[in-house]
Amino acid sequence: MNSFIGTVVQAKVTDENDTAYFVQYEGQTLMVDKMEPEKPLHIGGLYEGFVYENEDHHLQMTRFIPEISYDQFVWGTVVRTRHDLGVFVDVGLPNKDLVVSLDELPTISRLWPKKDDRLYVKLAHDNKGRLWATLADQAEFAAMAKPYDKDAVKNADTQATVFRLKMAGTSVITDDGHLGFVHPSERDQEPRLGQHVKARVIGHLRDGELNLSLKPRGYEEIGDDAQMLLAALQHQADHTLPFWDKSDPEDIRTYFGISKSQFKRAVGNLLKQRIITQQPGEIKLIEDLDDQAED
């Protein structure tokens, strides 16, 4: 294999045609797109750039040196999938997307990354010298993770990218750089590798990770009638209304504009979510909604 593939080298200019310059390095001819150099290259001069195999399987050099290397991880954007090969990610190379091998991807294909998902990768090569992208492991994410203020993140909404799928749950890193974990009980379905998800903080784990949920808060799951009832309660100074499930149907319709059966379903929903209490003659918020959101 060519040991210099995936590295930055200086090569001697030896030839050109209408579209490309050609440079020599360790006995190999590399192509340079003629649109790249800021000034014309001259035969015998030196040109420095990053070496890779382009999509036509020719050795190419580019002066637009990518951040990715054999030691440096970057976020690559998924551009397409080939189920017999893996997923292609854009890491900043001209006319070349790198493949993350199917050997590194979930065995269940529906959990593979989709277009525009993101993977944290660095360079790797096989024994034929072909460049690949390889995924960062848990240790890499732990090394890059930032500490968090427990009080500041309490019950906070956050955005995160999935980087590991296990039977025990889903590992993510938030956009703020904090490690997080989602237990299977805190998701309606398993997210994809590389998927960007909306989550909320529900606690803290002993290893310093955020305990996250992908499920909506209880009050976010209630129906329109329950939302209206909740809003009415919040507008009362004492968060109490003189109605309950045995109130007169006409009184309910006059005040809320809904039937008694709709009212009872809404009350039942709010009771189930532990947002209100009910006693003869009244319903009442258990506590302010901002505090209730922690449930």
Q: Which residue has the tokens 């989709």?
A: 114
pLDDT digits (tens, 9 = 90+) for 24-80: 999 999 999 999 999 999 999 999 999 999 888 899 999 999 999 999 999 999 999
Structural domains in the chain? Answer: 8-62 (2.40.50.330), 74-136 (2.40.50.140), 145-213 (2.40.50.140), 219-292 (1.10.10.10)
pTM here? Answer: 0.73
Reported confidence tier of residue 294, pLDDT bands at 50, 70, 90: very low
- Cα 109 from Cα 248, distance rounded (Å): 56
pLDDT digits (tens, 9 = 90+) for 155-184: 889 999 999 999 999 999 999 999 999 999
Spatial CB neighbours of 49, under 8 Å, sequence gap ≥ 6: 8, 9, 11, 32, 61, 62, 63, 64, 65
Q: What is the CA radius of gyration of the chain?
A: 29
Of all residues in the chain, what percent carry a pLDDT higher than 70?
Answer: 95
Spatial CB neighbours of 231, under 8 Å, sequence gap ≥ 6: none
